[in-house]
Amino acid sequence: MADLTTKYLGLTLKNPIIIGSSGLTDSVEMIKKIEESGAAAVVLKSIFEEEILLEADITLDAAVKDGFTAEAFDYYDYKIKNDNLSKYISLIKEVKAAVSIPVIASINCTSSHEWPYFAKKITEAGPDALELNIFSLPTKLNKTASENEKVYYDIVEKLKKNISIPISLKISYYSSNLGAQILKLSESGISGLVLFNRSFSPDFDIDNFTVTTSNVLSKVDELSISLRWVAIMSGRVKCDIAASTGVHDAEGLIKQILAGADTVQIVSVLYEKGVGYVRTMLEELQKWMEKHDFKNLDDFRGKMSQSKSDDPALYERVQFMKYFRGK
Residues lying near ligand FMN in the complex (CB under 6 A): 20-23, 45-46, 106, 108, 133, 170, 197-198, 216-218, 244-247, 266-268
Maximum pairwise Cα distance, the chain: 74
- The least CB distance from residue 56 to ligand FMN, in Å, is 19
Using alpha carbons, select from 166, 126, 235, 133 the residue that is nearest to residue 11.
Answer: 166
Whichever of 255 and 294 has its CB closer to ligand FMN, that residue is 255
Residue 93 Cβ, how far from ligand FMN at the closest point, in Å? 19
Nearest to 200 by CA among 212, 208, 191: 212
Angle between the 250-259 and 223-233 helix axes, to the nearest 10 degrees?
Answer: 20
The CB-of-292 to ligand FMN minimum distance in angstroms stands at: 25
Contacts of 112 (CB under 8 A, 6+ apart): 151, 154, 155, 157, 158
DSSP code, position 3 = B
Residue number with CB closer to ligand FMN (56 or 194): 194
Whichever of 219 and 292 has its CB closer to ligand FMN, that residue is: 219
Nearer to ligand FMN among residue 200 and residue 323 (C-beta): 200
Beta bridge partners of 43: 104
CB of 163 to ligand FMN, least distance (A): 18
To the nearest whole angstrom, how small is the minimum distance from the Cβ of residue 86 to ligand FMN?
18
User: By C-beta, is 111 or 309 nearer to ligand FMN?
Assistant: 111
Residue 56 vs 242, nearer CB to ligand FMN? 242
Kindly tell me which of 229 and 294 has the beta carbon lying closer to ligand FMN: 229
What lies within 8 Å, CB to CB, of 130 at 6+ separation is: 104, 105, 106, 107, 119, 122, 123, 159, 163, 165, 166, 167, 168
The minimum distance between CB 220 and ligand FMN, in angstroms, equals: 9
Rounded CA separation 220/252 (Å): 8
The least CB distance from residue 110 to ligand FMN, in Å, is 13
In angstroms, rounded to a whole number, what is the distance separating the alpha carbons of residues 306 and 228? 9
Residue 118 burial by Cβ neighbours in a 10 Å radius (0-12, 13-18, 19+): buried
